[in-house]
Amino acid sequence: MTDPGPRTAEPVTDAGRIPAARRASLLFTLVLGGLSALPPLSMDMYLPALPEVTDSLRSPAATVQLTLTACLMGMALGQLVVGPMSDKWGRRRPLLAGMMIYVLATAVCAFAPTAELLIAFRLIQGLAGAAGIVIARAVVRDLYDGVAMARFFSTLMLISGVAPVIAPVIGGQVLRLTDWRGVFVVLTVVGVLLTLVVWRLLDETLPPGRRQTGGLGEALRTMRGLLADRVFTGYMLTGGFAFAALFAYISASPFVVQDIYGASPQTFSLLFGVNSVGLVLIGQINGKVLVGRVSLDKALAAGLAVVTLASVALLLMTAGVFGKSGLLPIATGLFVLMSAMGLTLPNTNAQALMRSRDAAGSASALLGTSTFLLGAIASPLVGIAGSQTAVPMAVVQVACACAALGCFLGLCRPFAVSPAAGC
């Protein structure tokens, strides 16, 4: 297994990388944040339009939800390809190629005449958009280690967390001016602008001397070695199941809030934005206050405990244990669950990536693939009983939260091994 590397709070300073002053610059942080924000932007701007897409394309809600699943599946599978490519050829070239394909696929989505075609190009959109996700995370691993890496991930969460805050609001306003196709037009423009920014501002962060020289066989052996590490796999599955609980909310919330509780697209956008603000704030508390004072595993354990309790409370409310629940208590439970992700997601990423310094692209690909695959599985399950009950959403959230907690305690064993072992 690869060496997890030193647990230092200082940035890595190998020759040939981006200078320290450039790494610390706000502009550099914004570029990486933009790449990390692209997936939630692609997903969340589209959420208020789901009921309209159902009517426009004359398709059932379960079929339209597959447009989310297809995008997630694409992002999951694309990372398995782009991650090893970036370890072999550097970060810059695969990233630019993926961004250009993303722009073309998104433009086609804007004109899709059927749900089937929309699903197909959402898959391509996800495959190409995977480049931004996996390479942004690999760039952070190229440049940082230990506590510094955890802090930078929390900073990225501040930036990428703005996307879920503003995306549904933008989507809701776009729907006031045009139909759902206009959402994809806006996403196309965003993709073009981000591609230009990456081309002009993001330098190569992986020196030729540290690149992988083998082909597919070596990439597979590297991934097999990572998966053979119990601790890496534990953090990977912990983060994946936690994200699946989050995506159960993302996928079901348009129908829960609008169809069951009768809220408008604008009200849904506002509630979604408030929940995203909670995630951003807790993420910043994690990065600015807790990291360096509290172990990453203790912060992660607290986040998982809150997610589990919030999901159980949602199940009890949606099942009618406390009588008929209105929108306010349901929204409160969702707010608590989503906010706790600010402790869960950045710490699982940091702990897992510390297990591999010389194959950050492959490690990032495995993290991203497991995350999006589990999210893609959770997406259709929340609509299995139709769009008139929120119980399936809560059941999926409870199952995923318990699975995340079980993987953390059973595989990472954070309180049974020494900190030097990587937990």
- At 147 the pLDDT is 76
Q: Please, what is the average pLDDT of the chain?
A: 81
In angstroms, how far is CA 253 from the centroid of its own chain? Answer: 17
pTM, entire model? 0.72
The CA-CA-CA angle for residues 207, 96, 117, to 5°, reads 145
Of 9-13, 35-39, 283-287, the one with minimum mean pLDDT is 9-13
Q: Which residue has the tokens 């020494």?
A: 418
Tokens encoding 350: 């940091």
From 67-71, 161-165, 328-332, 362-366, the region with the lowest mean pLDDT:
161-165
Closest among 53, 44, 69, 61 to 387, alpha carbons compared: 61
Flag whether pLDDT at 84 surpasses 90. Answer: no
HEC letters along 246-312: HHHHHHHHHHHHHHHCCCCHHHHHHHHHHHHHHHHHHHHHHHHHHECCECHHHHHHHHHHHHHHHHH
Mean pLDDT over 225-237 rounds to: 91
> Is the model's pLDDT at 16 over the cut of 60?
no
| pLDDT tens digits, 134-187 | 888 888 888 887 777 877 877 776 676 667 567 767 787 888 888 888 889 989
Backbone angles phi, psi at 294, to 5 degrees: -120, 140
**In this structure, what are the phi and psi dihedrals at residue 357, rounded to the nearest 5 degrees?**
-95, -35
Work out the average pLDDT over 187-214: 85
